[in-house]
């Protein structure tokens, strides 16, 4: 065990970057300012072209060919393109850059078969990603409703992201102005809400992309404290000593092998008049080596992403507070670094979770469920109406669902709400079962439950869900409606960027969780 120690310059810089959007939020919204450094304006006509600007025109399907969608370009100029020979595609988000008028650039973006909020969010996200070297993007795309217009802005904000903290010589994105040619109108409140949520997604990505040598439990605590400052959010931190004295044996057992001690953090937003309560619990393994059940070298790469759940619930709670959503919301960050050492938990060790249940740890690499068991138990002590946990819990989730869908398990009541919120937000979730017949696999010879079934490969994601369910209980009132999101697949995009999704951390579930809070509050 080591004292938490001081944070050196790198870490301070890291926290500063992670929290840098906060100060921009307190600025008054006299102009329509979205996303730190991105000014958005609406125009009925195409603004004058310049070298610094890119004009974005849509490409849509026309029979078996493609054509430019309705636009405001000079008609002679627009009809001069032979789209087929230029290899222009109508696939959502595919982009072709051409020389435009007056030294500007024309970006032709595929809009897919039919415009929808989801396709627009993706195509405009791709536009923002691809046009980072321009100062000004002009969208000359015929959005057909305000919902689509807002989805376009959201996609653009989400796509306008880069993580270059560790590339000091890299050229920064220049994109600072967005003009949308449209007669549709969005209110500044609507735009501000988009900015708040996209900023929360960006901050989640920043935390998750940060390497584990600079981001460990105490750094997450500092980041949480800093971002919550100035907001009506209460924050409580359990030190390693507190974890032991308060019976949080899961988080402690996972973190005790590391020189960087584990923590539990509770953030609470309790606006007056709130009728419903929502507790969010996040897996925050800042690095998952597997512990003594050590991962093979290739599987260990990427395990800095194992704190995505904690980062997502933290930033969602902040966004909920910034948006003043009238719901009582809490976020529980279960923070530990899973390391092998002389002080680490061994296979066969028996630990005790906060709710009194004992767990035989048969595989120290199934550590997420151990920290979440404590987090869920603690959350249940407040008797929330709804309880949602978010975790990069199992490799099996990626085997079952690939890298874009989150696995969704739990009670019918909570499932329905999360499914609806995800659909509104435009994130992909898939309802998976919790089959009763798998539960006996977790029977332990000497403890209440084991954390895995050794040698079993069937239904790994579902067994993770069944384990967590044991810790959703209420001794006094009715059980909260619970949902579990296994985000092992979509937390990190290790293939090429697409739509508004960059390579690396995606910030997945933040938009769903904020939407869930909105839905439950209304």
Contact flag: residue 486 with ligand BES (CB under 6 A): no
Interatomic CA distance for residues 431 and 417, integer angstroms: 12
Beta pairing, strands 38-43 & 177-181: parallel
Catalytic residue among 67, 174, 192, 295: 295
- 363: partner contacted, choices ligand BES, Zn ion, none (Cβ within 5-8 A by kind): ligand BES
The DSSP result for 1-28, as a single string, is --------HHHHHHHHHHHHHHHHHHS-
- 395: partner contacted, choices ligand BES, Zn ion, none (Cβ within 5-8 A by kind): ligand BES
Count the site residues for ligand BES by CB under 6 A: 15
Extract the tokens encoding 282: 């996040």
- 460: partner contacted, choices Zn ion, ligand BES, none (Cβ within 5-8 A by kind): ligand BES
Catalytic residue check, 70: no
Q: Least distance (Å) from Zn ion to the CB of residue 363? A: 8
Interatomic CA distance for residues 294 and 323, integer angstroms: 42
Contact flag: residue 101 with ligand BES (CB under 6 A): no
Question: Which of 282, 284, 368, 410 forms a contact with ligand BES (CB under 6 A)?
Answer: 368
Question: Which of 35, 418, 447, 452 forms a contact with ligand BES (CB under 6 A)?
Answer: 452
Contact flag: residue 367 with ligand BES (CB under 6 A): yes
Name the residue nearer to ligand BES (CB basis): 115 or 311. Answer: 311
Q: What is the DSSP letter of 213?
A: T
Contact flag: residue 288 with Zn ion (CB under 5 A): yes
Contact flag: residue 464 with Zn ion (CB under 5 A): no
Q: Least distance (Å) from ligand BES to the CB of residue 333? A: 16
Contact flag: residue 69 with ligand BES (CB under 6 A): no
Name the residue nearer to Zn ion (CB basis): 199 or 463. Answer: 463
Name the residue nearer to Zn ion (CB basis): 281 or 285. Answer: 285
Run of H or E including 42: strand 38-43
Extract the tokens encoding 419: 């499914």
User: Which residue has 């960059």 as its token pair?
Assistant: 502
Q: What is the DSSP letter of 501?
A: B
Q: What is the DSSP letter of 82?
A: -
Catalytic residue check, 369: yes
- What residues from 276 to 335 belong to the interface with ligand BES (CB under 6 A)? 288, 306
Main-chain phi, psi angles of 101, to 5 degrees? -70, 150
Instruction: Give strand ranges (E) for 412-518.
Output: 429-431, 449-450, 481-486, 492-493, 504-505
Helices (H) and strands (E) in the chain, counts: 16, 21
Interatomic CA distance for residues 304 and 215, integer angstroms: 9
Contact flag: residue 389 with ligand BES (CB under 6 A): no
Catalytic residue among 369, 417, 511, 518: 369
467 neighbors 442 (Cβ within 8 angstroms): yes
User: Which residue has 């009506």 as its token pair?
Assistant: 232
Contact flag: residue 360 with ligand BES (CB under 6 A): no
80 neighbors 98 (Cβ within 8 angstroms): no
Name the residue nearer to ligand BES (CB basis): 125 or 262. Answer: 262
- 488: partner contacted, choices ligand BES, Zn ion, none (Cβ within 5-8 A by kind): ligand BES
List residues binding ligand BES (CB under 6 A). 288, 306, 363, 365-368, 392, 394-396, 398, 452, 460, 488
């Amino acid at each position: 065990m080591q004292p938490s120690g001081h944070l050196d310059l790198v870490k301070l810089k890291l926290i500063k970057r992670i929290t840098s959007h906060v100060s921009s939020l307190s600025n008054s919204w006299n102009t329509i300012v979205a996303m730190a450094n991105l000014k958005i304006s609406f125009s009925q006509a195409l603004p004058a072209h310049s070298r610094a600007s890119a004009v974005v025109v849509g490409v849509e399907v026309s029979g078996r060919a493609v054509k430019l969608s309705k636009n405001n370009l000079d008609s002679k100029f627009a009809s001069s393109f032979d789209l087929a020979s230029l290899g222009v595609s109508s696939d959502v988000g595919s982009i072709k850059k051409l020389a435009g008028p007056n030294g500007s650039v024309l970006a032709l973006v595929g809009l897919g078969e039919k415009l929808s909020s989801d396709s627009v969010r993706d195509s405009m996200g791709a536009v923002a990603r691809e046009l980072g070297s321009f100062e000004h993007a002009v969208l000359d795309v015929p959005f057909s409703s305000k919902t689509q217009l807002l989805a376009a802005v959201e996609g653009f904000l989400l796509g306008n992201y880069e993580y270059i903290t560790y590339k000091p010589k890299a050229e920064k994105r220049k994109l600072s102005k967005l003009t949308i040619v449209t007669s549709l109108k969005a209110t500044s409140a609507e735009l501000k809400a988009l900015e708040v949520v996209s900023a929360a997604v960006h901050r989640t990505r920043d935390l998750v992309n940060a390497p584990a040598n600079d981001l460990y439990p105490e750094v997450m605590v500092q980041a949480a404290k800093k971002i919550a400052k100035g907001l009506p959010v209460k924050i409580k931190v359990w030190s390693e000593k507190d974890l032991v004295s308060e019976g949080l044996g899961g988080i402690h057992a996972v973190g005790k092998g590391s020189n960087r001690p584990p923590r539990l953090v509770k953030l609470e937003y309790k606006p007056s008049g709130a009728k419903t309560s929502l507790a969010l619990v996040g897996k925050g393994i800042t690095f998952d080596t597997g512990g003594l059940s050590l991962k093979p070298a290739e599987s260990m790469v990427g395990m800095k992403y194992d704190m995505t759940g904690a980062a997502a619930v933290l930033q969602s709670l902040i966004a909920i507070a910034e948006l003043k959503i009238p719901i009582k919301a809490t976020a529980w960050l279960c923070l530990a670094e899973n390391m092998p050492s002389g002080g680490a938990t061994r296979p066969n060790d028996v630990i005790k979770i906060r709710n009194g249940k004992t767990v035989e740890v048969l595989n120290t690499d199934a550590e997420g469920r151990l920290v979440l068991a404590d987090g869920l138990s603690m959350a249940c002590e407040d008797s929330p109406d709804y309880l949602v946990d978010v975790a990069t819990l199992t490799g099996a989730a990626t085997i079952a669902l690939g890298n874009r869908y989150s696995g969704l398990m739990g009670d019918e009541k909570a499932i329905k709400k999360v499914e609806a919120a995800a659909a509104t937000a435009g994130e992909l979730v898939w309802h998976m079962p919790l089959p009763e017949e798998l539960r006996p696999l977790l029977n332990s010879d000497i403890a209440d439950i084991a954390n895995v079934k050794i040698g079993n490969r069937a239904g790994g994601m579902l067994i993770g869900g069944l384990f967590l369910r044991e810790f959703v209980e209420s001794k006094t009132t009715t059980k909260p409606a619970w949902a579990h999101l296994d985000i092992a697949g979509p937390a990190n995009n290790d293939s090429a960027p697409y739509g508004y999704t960059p390579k690396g951390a995606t910030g997945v579930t933040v938009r769903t969780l904020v939407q869930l809070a909105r839905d439950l509050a209304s």
